[in-house]
């Protein structure tokens, strides 16, 4: 006898079977070490080339010590949302430090970057408004745009002419342009100066997600500092779980924008504050980011070694000058096969496939924590394995 619940489960199984057949099924590798240049995953020790810990701060002793001291001082739980009783002096100090570091009057910390994007976009635009977004923006920005109920216009990647037409054509009350400063799966950057000029011409907000620029670009202060850009209409967001090595995110903007978010942003209001020990760890991380410039220099050296080494062997990476260095693959199957072959040689490199990205690729990420020999070995093994993988699948 078939019961209704059998059909419910069969429908899930059919969808998963489809994913498996298309080489798109995912599982979660279990890591049994701290994050670092070498990790143990499913019992095997590998060089880690898929983390976003670009500066190698995820297990930095000073930041770990700040978290431990924070736990001693504040305990573990924050107890409530920021507007009830969860906003502690550690959050307040961390926000002031982040705002000063990126050169904005005020900042707001949130528990994750996903939440920060939902908070800003749903608070600032609604049904009568329009939001304009690059096609390659991060999924959390897309979800935020959908949730806002504003008219959601996507323009082709970095296509400013298309964006300008969309801005000129909209009857919307308020306009907001939302963009990744460094595109998370491609590693290339948005033309922020030109986007600001468009935002000014069409009186739009410019919301910049700098998840992959903060800590790395502009002496650690991020993509705006890198370009020397500033404007009250720019709302800046960066995450704190990537280069900063901790967790969470912050929004930096004019005082009134932050005040507006505190009052209007449901994803900020209706969630428990992150533990104060996280805020203390982030404050320590900002000091390390400011003081340890050698980490950014070493990362740049690794980027050059990887790009030049692969190019010399005839293997072209996608155009990127950041820590994200994608290698385009002809199919999801090929991406998986190269990832598996590299793993056999001790490298952990993620195969990124649709629907996360339009075209399959290996996403190689570099960190200041890698040593030169690790990067060199990766270059040699990619060059040795790639032709075999392509041949065996063609
Ligand atoms: C990782 C990421 C986010 C989400 O941040 P979390 O803190 O991981 O939730 C948002 N935007 C971009 C571009 C990202 O890469």
For the chain, the structural domain boundaries read 27-55+293-393, 61-291
The per-residue pLDDT for 232 is: 98
Q: How far lies 114's CA from each of 142, 143, 241, in Å?
A: 10, 9, 11
**Measured in angstroms, how far is the CA atom of residue 357 from the centroid of ligand 1?**
15
**Measured in angstroms, how far is the CA atom of residue 138 from the centroid of ligand 1?**
7
Residue 213 Cβ inside 6 Å of ligand 1? The answer reads: no
The answer, yes or no, to whether the previous bond of 75 is cis (omega within 30 of 0) is: no
Share of the chain above pLDDT 90, in %: 95
The mean predicted confidence, pLDDT, of the chain is: 96
Question: Which of 35, 211, 249, 267 is the best mutation target for the ligand 1 pocket, counting ligand atoms within 8 Å of the beta carbon and taking the most?
Answer: 211
The per-residue pLDDT for 355 is: 85
The mean per-residue pLDDT over the stretch 288-308 comes to 98
Q: Given a cut of 80, is residue 394 above it in pLDDT? A: no
Where do we find the tokens 């040689």?
345
Residue 285 near residue 63 (C-beta atoms within 8 A): yes
The mean per-residue pLDDT over the stretch 224-253 comes to 98
What CATH class is the domain 61-291?
Answer: alpha beta
Measured from the Cα of 182, ligand 1's closest atom is 13
Q: Which residue from 362, 318, 317 is spatially nearest to 337, judged by alpha carbons?
A: 362
| CATH code for the domain defined by 27-55+293-393 | 3.90.1150.10
Q: Given a cut of 80, is residue 4 above it in pLDDT? A: no
The per-residue pLDDT for 1 is: 55
For the segment 181-194, what is each residue's pLDDT rounded down to a tens digit? Answer: 999 999 999 999 99
Is residue 239 part of an annotated ligand binding site? yes
Residue 180 Cβ inside 6 Å of ligand 1? The answer reads: yes
Question: Which of 119, 121, 140 is the best mutation target for the ligand 1 pocket, counting ligand atoms within 8 Å of the beta carbon and taking the most?
Answer: 140
Residue 211 Cβ inside 6 Å of ligand 1? The answer reads: yes
The per-residue pLDDT for 101 is: 98
The mean per-residue pLDDT over the stretch 281-290 comes to 98
- List beta partners, residue 130: 151, 175
- CA-proximal residue: ligand 1, atom 4 (nearest): 113
Greater confidence (316 vs 106) lies with 106
The per-residue pLDDT for 2 is: 58
List phi, psi (to 5°) of 45. -90, 125
Active site residues: 184, 212, 242
**Measured in angstroms, how far is the CA atom of residue 312 from the centroid of ligand 1?**
33
Q: Given a cut of 80, is residue 379 above it in pLDDT? A: yes
Burial, 105: exposed, middle or buried (Cβ in 10 Å; 0-12, 13-18, 19+)?
A: middle
**Measured in angstroms, how far is the CA atom of residue 287 from the centroid of ligand 1?**
22
Confidence of residue 151 (pLDDT cuts 50, 70, 90): very high
Question: Which of 35, 109, 114 is the best mutation target for the ligand 1 pocket, counting ligand atoms within 8 Å of the beta carbon and taking the most?
Answer: 114
């Amino acid at each position: 006898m078939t019961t209704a619940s059998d059909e419910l489960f069969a429908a899930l199984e059919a969808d998963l079977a489809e994913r498996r057949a298309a080489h798109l099924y995912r599982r979660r590798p279990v890591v049994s070490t701290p994050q670092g240049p070498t990790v143990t995953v499913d019992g095997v020790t590998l060089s880690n080339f898929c983390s976003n810990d670009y500066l190698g701060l995820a297990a930095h002793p000073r930041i770990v010590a700040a978290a431990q001291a924070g736990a001693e001082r504040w305990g573990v739980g924050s107890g409530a949302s920021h507007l009830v009783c969860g906003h502690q002096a550690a959050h307040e100090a961390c926000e002031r430090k982040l705002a000063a570091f990126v050169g904005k009057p005020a900042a707001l910390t949130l528990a994750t970057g996903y939440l920060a994007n939902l908070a800003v976009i749903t608070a600032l635009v609604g049904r009568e408004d329009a939001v304009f977004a690059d096609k390659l923006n991060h999924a959390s920005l897309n979800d935020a745009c959908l949730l806002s109920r504003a008219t959601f216009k996507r323009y082709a990647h970095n296509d400013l002419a298309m964006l300008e037409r969309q801005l000129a054509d909209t009857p919307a009350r308020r306009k907001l342009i939302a963009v990744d400063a460094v595109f998370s799966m491609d590693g290339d950057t948005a033309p922020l100066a030109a986007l600001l000029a468009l935002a000014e011409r069409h009186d739009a907000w410019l919301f910049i997600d700098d998840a992959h620029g903060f800590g790395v670009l502009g002496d650690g202060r991020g993509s705006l500092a890198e370009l020397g850009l500033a404007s009250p209409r720019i709302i800046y967001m960066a995450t704190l779980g990537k280069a900063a090595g901790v967790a969470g995110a912050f929004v930096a903007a004019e005082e009134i924008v932050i005040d507006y978010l505190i009052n209007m942003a449901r994803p900020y209001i209706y969630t428990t504050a992150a533990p104060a020990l996280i805020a203390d760890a982030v404050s320590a991380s900002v000091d390390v980011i400011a003081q340890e410039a050698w980490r950014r220099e070493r990362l740049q050296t690794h980027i050059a070694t990887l790009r030049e080494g692969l190019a010399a062997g005839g293997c072209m990476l996608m155009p990127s000058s950041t820590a994200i260095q994608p290698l385009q693959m002809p199919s999801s199957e090929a991406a998986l096969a190269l990832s598996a072959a590299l793993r056999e040689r001790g490298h952990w490199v993620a195969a990124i496939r649709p629907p996360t990205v339009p075209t399959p690729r290996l996403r190689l990420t570099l960190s200041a924590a890698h040593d030169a020999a690790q990067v060199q070995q990766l270059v040699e093994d990619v060059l040795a394995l790639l032709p075999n993988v392509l041949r065996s699948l063609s």
